[in-house]
Amino acid sequence: MSAPQISSAANPRIRAAARLRDRRARDEAGLTIVDGGRELRRALEANVEVVEAFVCEPLVRTDDARAAAAALESAGVPIRTTNEAAFAKVAFGERAEGVVAVVRIPSTRLDSIRLSADALVVVLEAVEKPGNLGAVLRSADGAGAAALILADPRTDPFNPNAIRASAGTAFSVPIATGSTSDVRSWLRARGIRVIAARVDAETEPWDADLGGPLAIALGSEVGGLSTAWSTEDVTAVRLPMLGVADSLNVSVAAAVLLYEARRQRGRRT
Amino acid sequence: MSAPQISSAANPRIRAAARLRDRRARDEAGLTIVDGGRELRRALEANVEVVEAFVCEPLVRTDDARAAAAALESAGVPIRTTNEAAFAKVAFGERAEGVVAVVRIPSTRLDSIRLSADALVVVLEAVEKPGNLGAVLRSADGAGAAALILADPRTDPFNPNAIRASAGTAFSVPIATGSTSDVRSWLRARGIRVIAARVDAETEPWDADLGGPLAIALGSEVGGLSTAWSTEDVTAVRLPMLGVADSLNVSVAAAVLLYEARRQRGRRT
């Protein structure tokens, strides 16, 4: 192990990368920062452009982190080795696995989403917590959803905490953002039916048809879906709430609905 | 609004309550600390003993927090008003709603759990994150589960962050803890079948019978269930994973399985 190339938290590259934890810096640069070996391997597998990586060798201890460092190297990504002080500035505290990278944020334009004939997509309107958004991505990936659409987004899908909560699936599940009005037009133009999760609906999801081209729409943690989704062509469903709480976490509700759609559709082969 | 009774973060009551954020202090005192209006109202509704409450009037702004403060007062709970500095010491930073309380931790003995004839219970083995445990409680409450059983527990179900993630359902869903061996004996003695979530299982949950007295068992975030659950009398199931990730978050998997059981059972009326 040779001496690290960067040994100060004041190093300009380190400082520029650390700034990507703030949304404004991400929006300006079109870049984000990815923590974690598993997340980085999934970014590479999805052909996301990795601009540079920082590796703190004494902290690289997991198989995932070692595999990611090797994959970054064979992909020709510029790698800067750092000491622990410099790494602490750029890494996300508790979760430091010794490797972080700066990656280019993929396009989130609605017209870049390609769908198969019976695609299942998830729409989240005005969801605020990056952790919830990441958790929905992970379930959407598992259930074979074709895309996550953010309507009137309140959080950035490439927030580093969303990427982490997604276990790196933020790079494998196509993501698009748009106003609620644009998202509804886009769905209509493609003949995609909408199932809306509402706590005041009467139909349980297993009594609704979740086959064919379908969007499962869920609203914000506090207010649920806006009235823009209360139109005749939208089927509202609710999960039974048999205890004292009046709603499920949005990421949990999304997963239950996605897997109910998967059950109705049978396995993709 | 009169002057607050406590105006220093060094106040001994404030310091004693703040220490309950550490597990050792909770275990020694048999007490925990509850943040948030909704959580406190659910604790009161569940007849949990509230030892004392701290209210910082300038921070009480939500309907939930106001309702909780009023409910604490009518329940005869000793309430200490504090200034913001003292409150900051005892409250959980970002989420401060102006009201926190010290409550007695309910019994978590297996033999205190009462079950109906076709009870649905959740077993979590060695789950480590309080947030996951709380999220499972919230889904268990929604899906009408009779209890949450923690086998070989690695986190304290009355960790303040678990209570918060549970939206207060930590007080309405009965919770018990025990060694994996004791939990398996307890289930056997009550004739409760076990469905185990395993990523290497072949049966999908909709092809398994999730009716009757049933325990849905899930393992830790990293290692899954121990081999103690790989016996002939346990049915292993897995949710299809159609994307790049190899597993779901444990709280998401629990919710999907709980609601699949609920679907198969029909609505409780």
Residue B1 has pLDDT above 70, yes or no: no
Count of alpha carbons within 13 angstroms of residue A266, beta-carbon side:
2
CB contact (8 A) between residue A244 and residue B42: yes
pLDDT given for residue B268 in this prediction:
47
> Do residues A147 and A115 make contact, with C-beta atoms less than 8 angstroms apart?
yes
pLDDT given for residue A176 in this prediction:
98
Both tokens assigned to B166: 């549970």
Query: What parts of chain A have a pLDDT lower than 70?
Result: 1, 94-95, 267-269
pLDDT given for residue B94 in this prediction:
63
Which residues in chain B belong to E strands, given as ranges? 31-35, 50-55, 79-81, 99-104, 120-125, 147-151, 175-178, 193-197, 214-218, 234-237
Domain edges within chain B: 12-104, 110-265
**Which of B42, B204, B256 has its CB closest to that of A255?**
B256
pLDDT given for residue A1 in this prediction:
58
CA separation for the pair B217, B195 (Å, rounded):
6
pLDDT given for residue A95 in this prediction:
63
Q: Is residue A64 classed as helix, strand or coil in its secondary structure?
A: helix
Backbone dihedral region of A266: left (phi > 0), alpha (psi from -120 to 50 degrees) or beta?
left
CA separation for the pair B204, B197 (Å, rounded):
10
**Which of B45, B138, B206 has its CB closest to that of A263?**
B206
Q: What is the pLDDT of residues A235-244, one digit of tens each?
A: 999 999 999 9
Residue type, A208: A
**Which of B138, B245, B256 has its CB closest to that of A256?**
B256
Q: Name the burial class of residue A155, with classes exposed (0-12), middle (13-18) and buried (19+) by CB atoms within 10 angstroms of its CB.
A: buried
Residue B50 has pLDDT above 50, yes or no: yes
**Which of B256, B260, B267 has its CB closest to that of A240?**
B267
Q: What is the mean pLDDT of residues B59-84?
A: 94
A55 pairs with which residues across the strands?
Answer: A81, A99
pLDDT given for residue A269 in this prediction:
39
Number of neighbouring beta carbons within 10 Å of residue A106: 20
CB contact (8 A) between residue B243 and residue A135: no
| Domain range A110-265, CATH class | alpha beta
Taking the CA of residue B4 and the nearest CA in chain A, the distance in Å comes to 31
CA separation for the pair B216, B213 (Å, rounded):
10
| Closest CA in chain B for residue A268 | B242
Short-list B28, B26, B35, CA closest to B56 = B35
Short-list B64, B23, B62, CA closest to B40 = B64
Residues of A in contact with B260 (CB under 8 A): 259, 263
Backbone dihedral region of B235: left (phi > 0), alpha (psi from -120 to 50 degrees) or beta?
beta
| Closest CA in chain B for residue A46 | B244
Which residues make Cβ contacts (< 8 Å) with residue A260, sequence separation at least 6? Answer: A205, A206, A210, B259, B263
Q: Is residue B87 classed as helix, strand or coil in its secondary structure?
A: helix
Residue type, B239: L
| Fold designation for B12-104 | 60s Ribosomal Protein L30; Chain: A; (3.30.1330)
CB contact (8 A) between residue B259 and residue A243: no
- Model pTM? 0.94
Which residues in chain A belong to E strands, given as ranges? 31-35, 50-55, 79-81, 99-104, 120-125, 147-151, 175-178, 193-197, 214-218, 234-237
Q: What is the pLDDT of residues B107-158, one digit of tens each?
A: 999 999 999 999 999 999 999 999 999 999 999 999 999 999 999 999 999 9
Q: Tokens 């927030």 belong to which residue?
A: A159
Q: What is the mean pLDDT of residues B220-246?
A: 95
Short-list B131, B120, B122, CA closest to B249 = B131
**Whole-number Cα distances in Å, A42 to A215, B11, B52, B75:** 25, 50, 49, 53
Sheet holding B120-125, edge to edge: B175-178, B147-151, B120-125, B214-218, B193-197, B234-237
| Closest CA in chain A for residue B173 | A243
CB contact (8 A) between residue A256 and residue B251: no
Would B12-104 and B110-265 be classified into the same CATH topology? no
N- to C-terminal Cα separation, chain B = 47
Number of neighbouring beta carbons within 10 Å of residue A130: 20
Number of neighbouring beta carbons within 10 Å of residue B39: 29
Residues of A in contact with B143 (CB under 8 A): 240, 242
CB contact (8 A) between residue A267 and residue B167: no
**Which of B42, B241, B259 has its CB closest to that of A256?**
B259
B198 pairs with which residues across the strands?
Answer: none
Residues of B in contact with A144 (CB under 8 A): 240, 242-243
